[in-house]
Chains A and B, each alone.
Chain A
């Protein structure tokens, strides 16, 4: 056809040219496609993204964020409810979003000037005198409720908003029940905090202004025992050896070598500690606080801490690392009143304890408080209230159940019951009811323990 018009030679040339063009274009397209597949073409996206977009468009489904691991997949049974379907009138708790309610009605307070130095409160320098005068004037509120038994206030807390994890609040509930049980047996009062006293010191630093406020408001309290919400008592019979600390003001679980020599960031643990009410406590809180205010100060402090402390990962300043740094750098000032306890588990890292509970039940008994029967099992890193933590969800929650049951068994045996197994919520009777209930003694002597006796 073409060569009829143009002549054979010419047409051949044209065809060859056409062929070359075809080949060139083909190769060009191929190159572009391959490059796009590998490198991507900027805002035009990659083919993978194209595919995802097309898929989403076809299925019109909301793209799940990669971090919403514990987002509840609600099977909204929106079909046929006689009654209101709208949020306003619904009687179904699963359809309701609590965040509609938890709104502040009054405006926020003006923020503090970030350039002004942070302080926890006006400086007090005579707290010991003020306190001893008050104790003399109020003999009904002594700071010692028995010989060698100081008045202790256990302080713990959690956020006033519901947990992001749907079962987080349930584990907080079990944790506070566990603490209520221990404190009832040992004559300790509890303060459960759900208020953020200082917006600057949010997160793990929130305990500092709270502790200061409680020490100043309760002069009758001799020791304040801070305990994290993810720590559980697993030895109900162990009483803290108060006489051991008669010359100390601050008791934490840790090791002297790891803090002072190695400056290891986990040389001590601030998840469970005792602080004696006095001027010394106020001073150390003042010295501890400066790394806390959120924002630039905390970030910068975090860098300093990562640099100075051994093995610390990179993140903003936390209260525990700040305490290690404080003690390591100002040992002469604070060290003589700080007792780093490691003869029992004032804080017990859960990873090495939870698998051994059956072994402990077989070989040992409550009242030891140490590696044989830990006083506290602390679920560091699990973060059951958050969306996800450092460990697998299944392991964390199952082990928290086991630790809870391990402690609860010691309470239930007082009344003649025990859990069917460490994983089970059900209980079974181990001691029959009798007509003479007062002759029954529980094995651990926790029914009327000596540390609860009234003078």
Chain B
């Protein structure tokens, strides 16, 4: 009843222009206004305003509440998460930049022109009188002799690429390897050069040692021997000293097996992961003869094919320095072999796979100073490639073995200080000798340097 009364009034009011939905809501409007048969215009407007106010207020409150809970415009994540995400992305970008080979500072580097394959690559201008030059220099510079305290001056050269490894574990084992070398060289009075620069763009990778060795030889005439050692080789006999007296008539000392070399022509007959070069003209000539297979690109590829064809067991890949040296020594045997000493009486290079599992047996039965299969001088982790992404062996096996070799060697260093590792894998150490108030009594017995020096003195 009321509705009928009201409706025409509504219609007239809405006819004026745009009624509000609330008033159009018949049920509500009807329910509310059922008790009132008539409504003056002013009151109605007043009521309209009230409703509008209530609506706005409710809307406002709703928005506030929603904002307080979910947030407006950032429905994906809360603020802290967003910052964190940004930081992580930024850091990843920095890490990727650090790891990548690209150099942000020289953007317009001209593309490297490949070497003309008809022109033989050379390491530098030919020198023919290095022995005389060196002798003259040594006589003019007596304060830089090539023999110190009766021992020939040796320089250990090693290195790694200037970029971070593809994975963090690789850098960690490079660090452990250099610590291991520092320890050995401190005990034996040998200096170290750790190279992280590519001196020659053409000879990158495993060939990089050639220009480096040549450069060091020519800059340091006071050096008698240059000892190259790979970054994945660990010293495992801290007492053993290289018997230089055996090599007085030789200029290259390298680990290998003559029968594998001459009879089988195997590509692993020698190992260029650890070898000694005398600083002399002969060595410069050998380096010059060795280098031509190295320059990267078609030369190296082609050389790789030749090497695979001529050496037994060699897989097909680009030329590497070891195969090239073997090939060189085989094909020009008469020119070089009389000055090359192929050493296998001790492990100047010791292939890791047959050695690392026997460390406990060695510790039980033998003692440091032997250098051979009873207590290997060097344990060389060929094929593990911890700095790359993939190795030739299982990662767990490689890392476990490297850690064992590291601890095995470190125990020999820590012995002087009265400690040793708790097991060959773990990082922690334990005391094996109590502190005393008279430490010097035991030092003389245990210091490796004193035992080494004693031996060389007795020989001379």
Query: Which residue numbers of A lie inside 8 Å of B, CB to CB?
Result: 12, 15, 30, 33-34, 36-38, 46-48, 50-52, 55, 64, 66, 68-73, 84, 87-96, 98, 100-106, 108-109, 121-124, 130-131, 134, 138, 140-141, 158-163, 165-170, 172-174, 176-177, 180-181, 184, 189-192, 194-197, 213-214, 216-217, 219, 393-394, 397, 401, 408, 412, 414-417, 420-421, 423-427, 433-438, 447-448, 452-455
Q: Tell which of B186-194, B255-263, B291-299 binds the partner.
A: B186-194
Q: A166 to B105, Cβ gap below 8 A? A: no
Asked if B287 is at the interface (CB within 8 A of a chain A CB), the reply is no
A169 and B172 in contact (CB under 8 A), knowing A98-B399, A104-B422, A105-B425? yes
- Contacting residue for A173 out of B171, B186, B400, B403, CB 8 A: B171
Task: Give B180's nearest chain A residue, CB to CB.
Answer: A192
- Measured CB to CB, the closest approach of chain B to A37, in angstroms, equals 3
A104 and B178 in contact (CB under 8 A), knowing A70-B91, A130-B440? no
- Measured CB to CB, the closest approach of chain B to A342, in angstroms, equals 31
Q: B391 to A91, Cβ gap below 8 A? A: yes
Chain B residues near A103 (CB-CB < 8 A): 425-426
Assembly CA distance A134 to B440 (angstroms): 8
A73 and B394 in contact (CB under 8 A), knowing A94-B166, A121-B435? no
A64 and B88 in contact (CB under 8 A), knowing A92-B389, A166-B168, A173-B174? yes
- Contacting residue for A191 out of B88, B165, B186, B418, CB 8 A: B186
Asked if B65 is at the interface (CB within 8 A of a chain A CB), the reply is yes
Q: A104 to B70, Cβ gap below 8 A? A: no
Q: Which 8 A-B pairs have the closest CB atoms?
A: A105-B423, A104-B426, A47-B69, A37-B68, A160-B427, A169-B171, A453-B143, A433-B124
Assembly CA distance A96 to B398 (angstroms): 11
Chain B residues near A197 (CB-CB < 8 A): 417, 419, 429
Q: B94 to A196, Cβ gap below 8 A? A: no
- Contacting residue for B429 out of A30, A68, A192, A195, CB 8 A: A195
- Measured CB to CB, the closest approach of chain B to A425, in angstroms, equals 4
Q: B125 to A435, Cβ gap below 8 A? A: yes
**Contacts beyond the supplied A93-B386, A197-B417: 5 A-B pairs with Cβ under 8 Å:** A48-B69, A90-B396, A98-B172, A166-B95, A454-B148
Assembly CA distance A201 to B455 (angstroms): 39
Q: Which B residues, 104 to 159, have Cβ-Cβ distances below 8 Å to chain A?
A: 104-106, 124-127, 133-134, 137, 141, 143-145, 148-149
A196 and B428 in contact (CB under 8 A), knowing A37-B69, A393-B91, A447-B219? yes
A-B contact list, 12 entries, CB within 8 Å: A34-B64, A34-B65, A51-B69, A64-B81, A92-B389, A94-B167, A140-B149, A167-B95, A167-B171, A176-B194, A180-B192, A184-B191
Q: B95 to A101, Cβ gap below 8 A? A: no
Chain B residues near A93 (CB-CB < 8 A): 166-167, 169-170, 386, 388-391, 395
Assembly CA distance A48 to B71 (angstroms): 9
Query: Which residue numbers of B lie inside 8 Å of A, CB to CB?
Result: 31, 35, 61, 64-65, 68-71, 77-78, 80-81, 84, 87-88, 90-92, 94-95, 98-99, 103-106, 124-127, 133-134, 137, 141, 143-145, 148-149, 160, 162-172, 174-176, 178-179, 182-183, 186, 191-194, 196-199, 215-216, 218-222, 386, 388-396, 399-400, 403, 410, 414, 416-419, 421-431, 435-440, 443, 447, 449-450, 453
- Measured CB to CB, the closest approach of chain A to B1, in angstroms, equals 12
Assembly CA distance A80 to B259 (angstroms): 42
Assembly CA distance A189 to B416 (angstroms): 17
Chain B residues near A92 (CB-CB < 8 A): 389-390, 395
Assembly CA distance A310 to B301 (angstroms): 67
- Contacting residue for B219 out of A38, A96, A173, A437, CB 8 A: A437
- Measured CB to CB, the closest approach of chain A to B410, in angstroms, equals 7
Task: Give A172's nearest chain B residue, CB to CB.
Answer: B175
Q: B423 to A106, Cβ gap below 8 A? A: yes
Assembly CA distance A122 to B437 (angstroms): 6
A90 and B164 in contact (CB under 8 A), knowing A162-B169, A454-B143? no
Chain A residues near B87 (CB-CB < 8 A): 69
Q: A448 to B144, Cβ gap below 8 A? A: yes
The residue in B392, B400, B429 that gathers the most chain A C-beta atoms within 10 A of its C-beta is B429
Chain B residues near A34 (CB-CB < 8 A): 61, 64-65, 68
The residue in B141, B168, B419 that gathers the most chain A C-beta atoms within 10 A of its C-beta is B168
- Contacting residue for B440 out of A172, A219, A427, CB 8 A: A219
Chain A residues near B167 (CB-CB < 8 A): 93-94, 166
- Measured CB to CB, the closest approach of chain A to B203, in angstroms, equals 13
A169 and B175 in contact (CB under 8 A), knowing A38-B68, A184-B192, A448-B144? yes
Chain B residues near A37 (CB-CB < 8 A): 65, 68-69
- Measured CB to CB, the closest approach of chain A to B444, in angstroms, equals 8
Q: A173 to B175, Cβ gap below 8 A? A: yes
- Contacting residue for B182 out of A33, A180, A438, CB 8 A: A180
- Contacting residue for B172 out of A36, A50, A162, A397, CB 8 A: A162
Chain A residues near B127 (CB-CB < 8 A): 435, 437
- Measured CB to CB, the closest approach of chain B to A218, in angstroms, equals 8
A105 and B426 in contact (CB under 8 A), knowing A191-B186, A425-B103, A447-B219? yes
Q: A104 to B425, Cβ gap below 8 A? A: yes
- Measured CB to CB, the closest approach of chain A to B133, in angstroms, equals 6
The residue in B145, B431, B438 that gathers the most chain A C-beta atoms within 10 A of its C-beta is B438
Assembly CA distance A414 to B215 (angstroms): 10
Q: B168 to A169, Cβ gap below 8 A? A: yes
A33 and B65 in contact (CB under 8 A), knowing A101-B400, A169-B168, A170-B164? yes
Q: A30 to B98, Cβ gap below 8 A? A: no
Chain A residues near B31 (CB-CB < 8 A): 15
Chain B residues near A72 (CB-CB < 8 A): 92, 95, 168
The residue in A55, A89, A169, A447 that gathers the most chain B C-beta atoms within 10 A of its C-beta is A169
Task: Give A175's nearest chain B residue, CB to CB.
Answer: B175
Assembly CA distance A425 to B163 (angstroms): 8
A437 and B178 in contact (CB under 8 A), knowing A37-B68, A91-B395, A105-B423? no
The residue in A64, A101, A134, A217 that gathers the most chain B C-beta atoms within 10 A of its C-beta is A101
Q: A184 to B193, Cβ gap below 8 A? A: yes
- Measured CB to CB, the closest approach of chain B to A397, in angstroms, equals 7
Assembly CA distance A66 to B86 (angstroms): 11
Q: B70 to A47, Cβ gap below 8 A? A: yes
Q: A412 to B197, Cβ gap below 8 A? A: yes
Q: A424 to B106, Cβ gap below 8 A? A: yes
Assembly CA distance A90 to B179 (angstroms): 28
Assembly CA distance A269 to B393 (angstroms): 46
Q: B144 to A454, Cβ gap below 8 A? A: yes
Chain A residues near B170 (CB-CB < 8 A): 93
- Measured CB to CB, the closest approach of chain B to A227, in angstroms, equals 14
Task: Give B418's nearest chain A residue, CB to CB.
Answer: A213
Assembly CA distance A69 to B216 (angstroms): 42
Chain B residues near A421 (CB-CB < 8 A): 105-106
Chain A residues near B386 (CB-CB < 8 A): 93
Q: A96 to B395, Cβ gap below 8 A? A: yes
Chain A residues near B175 (CB-CB < 8 A): 158, 169, 172-173, 176
Assembly CA distance A47 to B106 (angstroms): 52
Q: A415 to B389, Cβ gap below 8 A? A: no
A219 and B443 in contact (CB under 8 A), knowing A104-B423, A424-B106? yes
Q: B160 to A438, Cβ gap below 8 A? A: no
Chain B residues near A162 (CB-CB < 8 A): 168-169, 172
Q: B403 to A448, Cβ gap below 8 A? A: no
- Measured CB to CB, the closest approach of chain A to B12, in angstroms, equals 28
Assembly CA distance A70 to B93 (angstroms): 11
Chain B residues near A408 (CB-CB < 8 A): 196-197
- Measured CB to CB, the closest approach of chain A to B184, in angstroms, equals 12
Chain A residues near B61 (CB-CB < 8 A): 30, 34
